[in-house]
Amino acid sequence: MDYISTRNKEIVVTPSQAIIQGISTDGGLFVPVEFPQMSLKRIQELSYKELAYEILRLLLTDFSEKQIKDCIDKAYDEKFDTEGIAPLIQVGDDYFLELYHGPTLAFKDMALSILPHLLKASLNINNIKEEVVILTATSGDTGKAALNGFTNVDGIKIIVFYPESGVSKIQKLQMNTQEGDNTFVVGIKGNFDDAQNGVKELFNNMNFVEKLKENNYILSSANSINIGRLIPQIVYYFHSYIALLGEGKLRIGEKINISVPTGNFGNILAAYYAKKMGLPINKLICASNDNKVLTDFFNTGEYNKIRELHLTTSPSMDILISSNLERLLFHISGEDDELIIELMNQLSKNGYYKMNSTDFKEFYGDYSTEDEVANIINKTFKKYDYLMDTHTAVAYNVSRKYKKDYNDNTKTLVVSTASPYKFASTVASALGIGIEDKDEFEIIDVLSKKSNRSIPEAVKNLKDKTVIHKNSCNTEDMRSIVESFLKVGETHD
């Protein structure tokens, strides 16, 4: 299996090289040259770890069997609080795929628990001795999950940028209390798109990249722009399907709908990749919050980032530039790399581009307002005694809109991406709990008693942790602060 750039199909790399680079030298994203097919009959009895091996061995072909199994064993161990890794919970006629049972209580753990081990193996495969600098932007959850995964990994440093006013209090505390001499966290005076654009500019700045090389560093990423982040996410979609088969909820080959709360488009793209590999999916439901740039795109064909960014109660989705959409455009367009360059240039120069909306019939796009999010959290708890976070609520609400609009009774998988305790103030408020004059941890205690659910240790332990990272900068100073942390000098263009 080789990987090619979305902006130049002539750039061909191995799986391990794609993982190390993170982003192609031309600014494009790496995609597999083909999608191997999975046999549902053959995998329907497999555990999560066994299934992960079957999928990863097809997509990471320059890894040995031992390397892949070692990575899987190190990733999916006792750090997850449930043996099934990604449990499936029935709520009414729908099924919630809970992806927040890892150490940082968000779906990012599913891939970022294994990425550090895949990266270390990749370095060994390519006999690379330089130290790796993981440079990543986060809208909240990627940051902590990446920090947790890469902390104290020998030969790797990790630098995380996040929007200071664009994450929840718990998310910010999770990142800024992160221990480890190889970790560095910086708040950006701007939004997630500013942080993400700043990181991309550093990757594409050859002067900066060369200076790092001179100092024995190479760059990589932990965002879902890294194919090593994306591939492990394919696993849980197949896992959920075979879980439904095992429970007798599906017949083999029967199609399902999947509703995903979406900002950077990586999680729903992994579902699309699962479909390309043989998972029977009827409709991919792309659920947005008030930052509905993707909703508008799937309904009109125009992607337009020229709009106000709303700070919502689902902050991990407060994004106007969905990087992974580039991969979908590449596949849908018949791998037209010249078109991708044109579209990305239009987005950069003009702030928008236009395509034919009928090209995306596999997708349904809609959004949830803040009132709708609060309302469905409240109603679902009262009716089903099921507690969900704000991002999951966005996806559940949009899935219900789809069912109503299309009178579609296909079984639906709602992707539950974070623990409600990461967004306790908003969830508590939605349930009618008074939060005035209470700090975040008091609210968490009240929410626990109201919902009769124990507080996860990862949240409980935060209360007494020391804030280590107090760094802040403007986007134009991102390079300087990286160079300062790495001690590579101050001179640059």
Catalytic residue ranges: 108
Which residues, listed in sequence order, are joined to residue 365 by a DSSP beta bridge? Answer: 286
Rounded to 10 degrees, what is the CA torsion of 421, 426, 431, 434? 100
- The amino acid at 394: V
Count of beta carbons in the 10 Å neighbourhood of residue 164? 15
Measured between its terminal Cα atoms, the distance across the chain in Å is: 38
- Residue 21 to residue 151: CA distance in whole angstroms: 20
Fill in the DSSP letter of residue 106: B
Environment class of 454 (CB within 10 Å of its CB; exposed 0-12, middle 13-18, buried 19+): exposed
Q: Residues 325, 263: contact at Cβ < 8 Å?
A: no
Outline where 225-369 has alpha helix (H): 227-246, 266-276, 293-300, 325-332, 337-350
Dihedral of CA 232/233/235/239: which sign?
positive
Residue indicated by tokens 């099924």: 95
Residue indicated by tokens 């975040």: 440
Tokens of 20: 């190390």
- Residue 220 to residue 402: CA distance in whole angstroms: 38
- The amino acid at 331: H
DSSP 6-39: TTEEEEEE-HHHHHHHSS-TTS--EEESS-PPP-
Which residues, listed in sequence order, are joined to residue 137 by a DSSP beta bridge? Answer: 161
Give the distance, in angstroms, between the CA of residue 16 and the centroid of all CA atoms in the same chain.
Answer: 20
Rounded to 10 degrees, what is the CA torsion of 423, 426, 432, 438? 80
